[in-house]
Copies of this chain bind each other. A is one copy, B any other.
């Protein structure tokens, strides 16, 4: 048994059974070990951002880490942006990064770089294994770290000789740690804050926006009249008909300030005090009123559900019925020219039961909330780190985690371009993902931001930097080039037809929605 084999056995024995890969020469012994040993599903991505983003999506939906296999510093670097997103989403990932053999490093071969330094900014834990006999122990530790609630990025750097030299034994990761319970004092303070009634809010994050936390939050709101808020982004928000509704804090700073302006007390359950996505001249970073008081009920890594249960008990709210979103009469599908309102109505009407929506529609997606809130129960995933190009890879991972659920990826055309190679993995693995590309042929959000920062009206050079026309991207051709079937929609009837077609097939389908 060589080091690579000891690692694969250790990962499988520790419950890691998915490896998303983009390997190179220094990882060939791991490829050989994955080939030889049973128990690991291997999925190839043609760009490393696909690999790390898929691991993020897998964790969000499966609740357990996948492994990635990446090639040296530059391969890891290509995966960093989506590791940033995964880290902010508190997803657990075990990155296996190959390195030159120990004796080769001194010679500064072309691919030599400081792999650990590349890893650190986007990892919670980084370790370089010294010898083949340490690989199993280090691998088990990496799994343990990745599983630490709510999830961590563990990056294990393995010099090639630790893969090909002899190993002695395998290892098994320690059982996942439990989430820390919150102090009863925090519960009492939160209860006191919410007794302010409608001028108080319960701001939910992390698993606070999933069942059963939402049920508890609904009971607490029924008792106190507090508002239920969620952060602008959520790793996995459970919503739809029959569920407790939270109001999402808007992206636009003025809208967020307006929403929050009357709150005197905000209780934080898995969330942080709201902060603007970006800073703007003359606008505050913090979105709550300066005199608003925060009560920290539970941090994102603590036992949020137990804390909410304790809060419901403290408020004598446990037996109350939470307000649930009614399922609206299924509306007639709208028709006519494409409008974002019409698109949202089509999505709300057609969203299938237990769909997983991966939302990277950016500016086109801002109005999707209300028209879809009464749709069939579904999960809504957004980018926690704000780095563009998270959507298609996360859709890959969500589909790998939940083969029996339909994934709907909503993509801005600008966003989808960063990691469009994910389309090939959708086709290779026959993943049940319908992709909608909102083709406005611009970095539309930046056109807004250009005005927001006070830069006035863009001239020709700025317009060129903010638009994707000249030439227009042909998303149907791009999809077919990656082996994914596709169709175009230029009005709402065509969009509904295309969406029905995509949702009806088992496997990937892409819709280019012309805006």
A residues neighboring B (CB under 8 Å) = 21, 23-26, 28-29, 31-32, 34-36, 42, 44, 46-47, 49, 73-75, 77-78, 80-81, 84-85, 88, 100-101, 103-104, 107-111, 113-114, 117-118, 120-122, 160-161, 164, 233, 272-273, 275-279, 281, 285-286, 383-389, 414, 417-418, 420-421, 424, 427-428, 445-446, 449-450, 452-456, 458-462, 464-466, 468, 470-483
Contacts and interface: CB of A to CB of B under 8 A. Distances in A.
A161 B281 CA distance: 8
Given A100-B278, A104-B279, A279-B161, A421 B428 contact: no
Given A32-B455, A78-B418, A111-B278, 12 more contacts: A31-B458, A36-B459, A46-B417, A46-B418, A47-B418, A104-B285, A107-B273, A108-B275, A110-B277, A111-B386, A114-B121, A471-B483
Nearest to A119: B121
A445 to B, nearest CB: 8
Contacts of A277: 25, 109-111
Given A117-B120, A462-B34, A478-B481, A279 B160 contact: yes
A47 B481 contact: no
A473 B482 contact: yes
B104 A383 contact: no
A100 B279 contact: yes
Contacts of A272: 108
Contacts of A110: 88, 233, 277, 383-386
Q: What is the total number of copies of this protein in its complex?
A: 2
Nearest to A82: B74
A104 B75 CA distance: 31
A205 to B, nearest CB: 12
Contacts of A75: 81, 387
Given A233-B110, A384-B110, A478-B482, A471 B118 contact: no
Given A42-B464, A414-B46, A475-B481, A28 B450 contact: yes
